[in-house]
Amino acid sequence: MTKRALITGVTGQDGAYLSQLLLARGYEVHGLLRRSASADVIAERLRWLGIQDQVKLLDGNLTDISSLIRVLNECAPDEVYNLGAQSFVKASWNQPLLTGQVTAMGAANLLEAVRLVRPQARFYQASSSEMYGMIQETVQNERTPFYPRSPYAVSKLYAHWLTVNYRESFAMHASSGILFNHESPLRGIEFVTRKVTDGVARIKLGLATELSMGNLDATRDWGHARDYVKGMWLMLQQEVPDDYVLATGRTTSVREFCRLAFAHVGLDYEEYVKVDPAFLRPAEVDVLHGDAAKARQVLGWAPETSLEAMIGEMVEADLARHGARMKG
C-alpha cells in the first residue's frame, strides 16, 4: 500500500528535502501551499531538487482551520509533518502576533484538524532548539528545561507542549523533533549561514565588497537539512511516539563559520566582514549545543555531513547561482 504524507511548509527548506526523501521511499506526497501573488517562484526549492511535478500541492493556510480540514479530507494522509511556521527569529519581534498565529496557533489548528478528521495519522511537530534560549545546561537534551528568548521561541514552545498534550490526552501518535539549526543551499537567504555563503560568492565574483553582520560571537550547533529530515521520518516510523533532539554535538561561532566560508574561496573574512548593530537582536541566544544520544540509540540516527562539507556545498551553490545570473 502506498503511504500518503501531508507536509505543511512544503515550499521551505525542510519541506523540499523531506518531500525528496518521502518520494524516494515511494510515498505519495501532498504539500500545503499558501496562496502567493508570486506564483512563479513558489515551488523554487522543489524545482531545485527536480521534484516539483511529483508533489501534489493543496491550497490552504495554517491560520485557517477550515482549509486544513478540507486538505486532510482530500489527501487522507498516513503521516502529517507540520513544518510550516514564521521561522525567522529576528522577524518575530517585528511581527509577534503573526508569529503566534502561524507558529503557535497554526500548530493548534492542525493538531485539532487531525484529531477531528484523521486521528489515526502520525503527526510530526517541528520543534526547535530555540526553545532552550537562555540555556539551563551546557549541553541540551530532551530533559533540559526550556527558557525561550523570542516571540518565535515562545510560539514554538506552545506548539511543542500542545503536541505532547495531544499525545497524552487523545493517544495520538504525535512526536516532536527538537531540531538544532540545520542548513543547506536551500536555506532562506536571511539566515546567517546562507547570508554568509551568498556574501562570500558575491565578494568572490566582484559583485560586493563587504558583508554586514550582527553578533559574531553567538554559537550554533549546525547540521545539514538533508540529514535532519531523515530523523523526522524515523520518528514517525517508531511504534511509540516520543520527542527527540537532533543535533551534531559540535558548536561553532558565527565568526568561525565566516572564517571557514571565506577560506573556502581563499579569502580572509576579517577583510570583508563588518559588524552592523542593525543585525543585533533585542534578546540573544548566545550558545546552543545539542546532545542527540537518544535519537542515536532509539532511531539509529546520526548526522552524515560535516560542517566543512556543508559550507563547501553552500558556497559552491551560491557561486553557481550568481555565476549563472551574470551570464545572463
Cβ proximity to ligand NDP: between 128 and 175 the closer is: 128
Query: Pick from ligand NDP, ligand GDR, none: which does 215 bind, CB < 5 to 8 A by kind?
Result: ligand GDR
Give the position of cell 508533489: 55
Which residue type does 111 have? Answer: L
CB of residue 34 vs ligand NDP: minimum separation in angstroms?
4
Query: Pick from ligand GDR, ligand NDP, none: which does 75 bind, CB < 5 to 8 A by kind?
Result: none
Query: Pick from ligand GDR, ligand NDP, none: which does 220 bind, CB < 5 to 8 A by kind?
Result: ligand GDR
Among residues 19, 128, 163, 176, which is the contact residue for ligand GDR, using CB under 6 A? 128
Cβ proximity to ligand GDR: between 64 and 276 the closer is: 276
Residue 245's H or E segment, with its range, is strand 243-246
- Contact between 15 and ligand NDP (CB under 6 A)? yes
167 Cβ contact partners less than 8 Å away, ≥ 6 residues apart? 173, 174, 175, 241
CB of residue 160 vs ligand GDR: minimum separation in angstroms?
11
- CA-based nearest residue to 284, from 189, 158, 148: 148
Residue 187's H or E segment, with its range, is none
Residue 29's H or E segment, with its range, is strand 28-33
CB of residue 212 vs ligand NDP: minimum separation in angstroms?
22
Query: Pick from ligand NDP, ligand GDR, none: which does 84 bind, CB < 5 to 8 A by kind?
Result: ligand NDP
36: left (phi > 0), else alpha (psi -120 to 50), else beta?
beta
Determine contact, residues 9/82, Cβ cutoff 8 Å. yes
36-95 positions binding ligand NDP, by CB under 6 A: 36, 61-63, 83-87
CA–CA dist 314, 299 (Å, integer)? 28
Q: What nine digits make up the cell of 48?
A: 531545485
Candidates 31-39, 234-242, 260-268, 311-319: pick the segment binding ligand NDP (CB under 6 A).
Answer: 31-39
- CA-based nearest residue to 193, from 162, 220, 171: 220
Among residues 9, 148, 214, 303, which is the contact residue for ligand NDP, using CB under 6 A? 9
Which residue type does 29 have? Answer: V
Angle at 295 between CA 292 and CA 298, to 5 degrees: 145
Query: Pick from ligand NDP, ligand GDR, none: which does 213 bind, CB < 5 to 8 A by kind?
Result: ligand GDR
Cβ proximity to ligand GDR: between 29 and 159 the closer is: 159
# residues contacting ligand NDP (CB under 6 A): 27
How far is the CA of 278 from the CAs of 90, 152, 214, 257, 312, in angstroms?
Answer: 11, 19, 7, 20, 28
Residues that bind ligand NDP (CB under 6 A): 8-15, 32, 34, 36, 61-63, 83-87, 102, 106, 126, 128, 179, 181-182, 188
Residues that bind ligand GDR (CB under 6 A): 87, 89-90, 128-130, 181, 190-192, 195, 213-215, 218, 220, 254, 279, 281, 284-285
